[in-house]
Structures are given as structure tokens and as C-alpha cells.
Structure 1
Amino acid sequence: MGKNKAGNAKNSPKKKSGKAKFIILGIIAIAIIGIAASAFSGSDFKARSGSIDTTKGSPVLGSQSAPVTIIEFGDYQCPFCRKWNLDTKPLIEKNYIDAGKVKLIYMDFAFLGPDSIKAHAGSYCADEQGMYWKYHDFIYANQGHENDGWASAENIKSLVSKLEGLDAGEFGKCLDSGKYEDRVRENKNIAMRNGASSTPTFIVIGQGEGTQLTGAQPYSVFQALLDEKLTTNPN
């Protein structure tokens, strides 16, 4: 009997220690899950300057009178921006933008190197020919690896020569002139002034304050948020 008590006494601290480790690991796991959830959840947003100047950004995709606006801050070299543009944007276009419920404005957040400036400036050269959004989708669809040279001026000119309907000669002259590069830089400044620190960053605005989302969020996340905004701000 005494021997068994002694054995239990020796084993007890080990069991207690093991239990304590399990509890600590559980707390850490919960903390990690909480951090991950916060990274993928929306947060209330109020423009630091009172409103967001989108006048230098893209043409509006959708109806000007749509009650909900998505502002996207992106970089054409960003792989997560590409993922969102290919996976999520088409569904938003089909179910919300084409229905007149939502409009999208793209703002240049060209911070991944000097080639990003050229790639973004090219969007406004394409816009001179009424092809902003065709260029936008085409560039993302043909994105190379970050900063491997695919977005240099010469490569962009070669790439868009395959874009149907675009006058590549006029585009090249425009891109070489550099006339839209300051516009791109100003949009980057606007992005940073309004709290964007990574790409893509979205601000979804309905009635009242906007909601900020970061990362290549799936369609389901946008669907829930857009439906909420539309409920509180019906067309």
C-alpha cells in the first residue's frame, strides 16, 4: 500500500505538468485561431480624410447610381490581387454589378517595385482607347512572378499587343511618355492615407461607415457583406 502511494506521488507532478502543457497549448491554439479570424474579418472604416478621393482611379465599373461601392487598392504584380480578380470579381460582377446594386472602383497601390508603376500607368493609356477594364483583366490574367521583369515597359507593350481592339502603337507612345506615372503615385499615397498597408485591400461603402477587408477574400465573404450593406441601404 505504501509503495503504491509513493509511486503515485512520483507520477503526480508529471501528470500535472502534462496537463498544464496541454492547457497552454490549447490557449496558444485558440489565440492563433483568433488572430487568423481577425485577419479575415471586416472592420468598420471611416476615411481618415473624411472621404476617399477616387477621381484619379479607374473608371467606375457598374452603374454610377449603385447604392454600394467597392474600392479596391491593388498592385498588378500582387498574386493575391490576381487570385481575387480571377476567382471572386467575376461572381460579384455577375450577381451585383451587372444588376446595378454595386459599383467597383480600382485604385492603384503600386508598391511592389518600379515595374508596378509602369503596369499601372498602362491602364490609363488603355483607358484613352476605352479599354481600361479589358486591360485590367488582361494584365492580371497574364501576370508573371513578382519583380521578375514581366511588367517592365517593354514587356507590357509586347503583352498588350495581343489584346484585341487595342492600338498597340498608340499605347506604346503613351506608356513611354510617362504621363500617367504621377497619377499612379498619387493613388498610392491615397491608399496609404486611408489605411491600406497590403494588397489587395478593399473598402466597401454603403450607408454610413465603410467596412475594410484585406486579402483575397472568397466570394462568400463579399456576398455576406454586400447583402448586409444592401439591406441597410436599399436601391
Structure 2
Amino acid sequence: MANTKQKGSINWIFWMIGIIAVGVIIIVVLDQNMSSSEKETSIDYENQPYIGEEDAPVNMIEFGDYRCPHCKNFQQSAFPEIKKQLVDSGDVKFYFVNYAFLNKDSDRGAKFAETVFQELGNNAFWEFHDHLFASMPDDMNKSNVYTTEFLKQTLQDVVDDQEKVQTVVEAYENGAGEDALEKDMEIARNLGVTGTPTVAVDGEVIKLESFQDLKDAVEEAKNK
């Protein structure tokens, strides 16, 4: 009897160890999955240009390239509706994040725009941003369009103070926009962005077939 009881006790101990071990494995796996999910959707919005109310409940990002004709079209056709219906309503805080992947002009335009943001602030950035897209040549075969002189002139069109313009140009030539662009590119890579324009709502890339898809994504994000 003593041996039977002892054997039963040992079996019970092994069962408990097994149950505890399985529980630990489940916790570890769940924790890893949550950490992975958080990492995929975690975005550092600090020091990013935006429009909208500071406390808007939903963050929206446009990933764009200043040499992308589709981005120019998005800026001229889709963005006004986004601003009118989603930003001005107080629902969305809208960010522009660079995904400069087409050519050297993409890189130069992004770095210069980032420098405008750093040196002159958010409002000047959006004025330059809009004008740079408007000034983008339609011929995609042209290269080396965004020279320093071209970018300087584009900024002069929206900023009257020549001293401020020169401050931006000098900072740009000294590499002021490089770190900001790399941060943007890392955000894009982490979200799996492969082209422009791409829109993300609260860290989730949205497949858009209509404006209603975007409105639905914002409404869903608001209700989470």
C-alpha cells in the first residue's frame, strides 16, 4: 500500500508539473505574440508634421513620395475630402510620412521638406509640401529635377523671409533632414509599405477601393 500511495503521489506531482509547464508555455507564447503585434503597430508620432486637432481620436498616415505622380493626384483629389470630412470634423489627426523610394529626387525632396519642418515649423511645412507637389513635373523620366536651387525657389514661393529660406537651405546642405527621413523609412518598413500613396489608420495599413473604405476604417478605429 505504501508503494502504491507513493507511486500515486509521484504521478500527481508529475501531472502538476506538466500542467504548470503548459501554462507557462502558453503565457510565453501569448506574450511574444502581443509584443510582436505591438511592435508592428507601434509608431513614434513625435516630431512628425500633422494637421488636425491635437487630441483627435484617430491617427492617419499618408506614406508619400514627392516624385510619385499618384501621390500628386492623391494630394489634389483625395486629400481635400479627407481634410473636409475626417480632419476638420475632429476625428482624425493626419500625418505625412516619407517613403522616398523612386529616385534621387524623392530623397532630396523628402530631406528638404523635413528640414523646412525642423527649421520653420508645421505650418510652413504644409505650405511647402502642397507647393512641391503642385510643382512636380509630370514627366517621370526627368531626373535631378529637385536640385537645391529648385527646392530653394519652391520654398521662396511660400516663404517671403529670405533669411529663413537661407537658414533652411544651409541646414539642408548640412544634412539636417537625414535622420528624420531615416525614421520615416523605418516606420514604413515596419508596416510593410511597398508603394505610394499608402494610408494607415492607427498603425494598420488600409486597402482602399473607395473613400467609404477610409471612412469605415476611421469609424472602426474610433470605436475601439
Q: TM (normalized to structure 2)?
A: 0.71
Match of 1:61 among 48, 51, 57: 51
Match of 1:138 among 110, 131, 139: 131
Q: Is 2:221 aligned against 1:229?
A: yes
Q: Is 2:46 aligned against 1:51?
A: no
Match of 2:89 among 94, 99, 112: 99
Residues 100-120 of structure 1 deviation map (CA, whole Å, 9 limit, x = unaligned) = 111111111111122222211
Distance 1:47 1:112, change over 3 A: farther
**2 CA distance for matches of 1:229 and 1:189?**
23
- Helix, strand or coil for the counterpart of 1:169? helix
Q: Do the aligned partners of 1:203 and 1:212 also contact (CA within 8 Å) in 2?
A: yes
Q: Do the aligned partners of 1:84 and 1:218 also contact (CA within 8 Å) in 2?
A: no
Q: Do the aligned partners of 2:199 and 2:205 also contact (CA within 8 Å) in 1?
A: yes
Residues 142-168 of structure 1 deviation map (CA, whole Å, 9 limit, x = unaligned) = 112335322222221122221244532
Which amino acid in structure 1 is aligned with residue 43 of structure 2? I
Query: 1:203 is matched with which residue?
Result: 200
Question: Superposition pairs for residues 23-34 of structure 1, below 5 Å?
Answer: none
> Larger helix proportion, structure 1 or 2?
2
Query: 2:113 is matched with which residue?
Result: 123
Q: Is 2:158 aligned against 1:192?
A: no
Residues 22-72 of structure 1 deviation map (CA, whole Å, 9 limit, x = unaligned) = xxxxxxxxxxxxxxxxxxxxxxxx56545122335x323111211111112
Distance 1:196 1:94, change over 3 A: same
Distance 1:190 1:229, change over 3 A: closer
Gaps of 5+ in 1: 1-45
Distance 1:218 1:148, change over 3 A: farther
Match of 1:82 among 53, 60, 72: 72
- Helix, strand or coil for the counterpart of 1:88? helix
Q: Do the aligned partners of 1:117 and 1:185 also contact (CA within 8 Å) in 2?
A: no
Q: Do the aligned partners of 1:111 and 1:188 also contact (CA within 8 Å) in 2?
A: no
**2 CA distance for matches of 1:49 and 1:224?**
22
Question: Superposition pairs for residues 11-50 of structure 1, below 5 Å?
Answer: 48-50=39-41
Q: Is 2:167 aligned against 1:170?
A: yes
Runs ≥4 residues deviating over 4 A: none
Which amino acid in structure 1 is aligned with residue 211 of structure 2? Y
Q: TM (normalized to structure 1)?
A: 0.68
Residues 73-110 of structure 1 deviation map (CA, whole Å, 9 limit, x = unaligned) = 11111111111111111111122212211111111111
Aligned CA-pair RMSD: 2.3
Gaps of 5+ in 2: 1-36
Task: Report deviation, 1:134.
Answer: 1.1
**2 CA distance for matches of 1:106 and 1:47?**
21
**2 CA distance for matches of 1:153 and 1:94?**
34
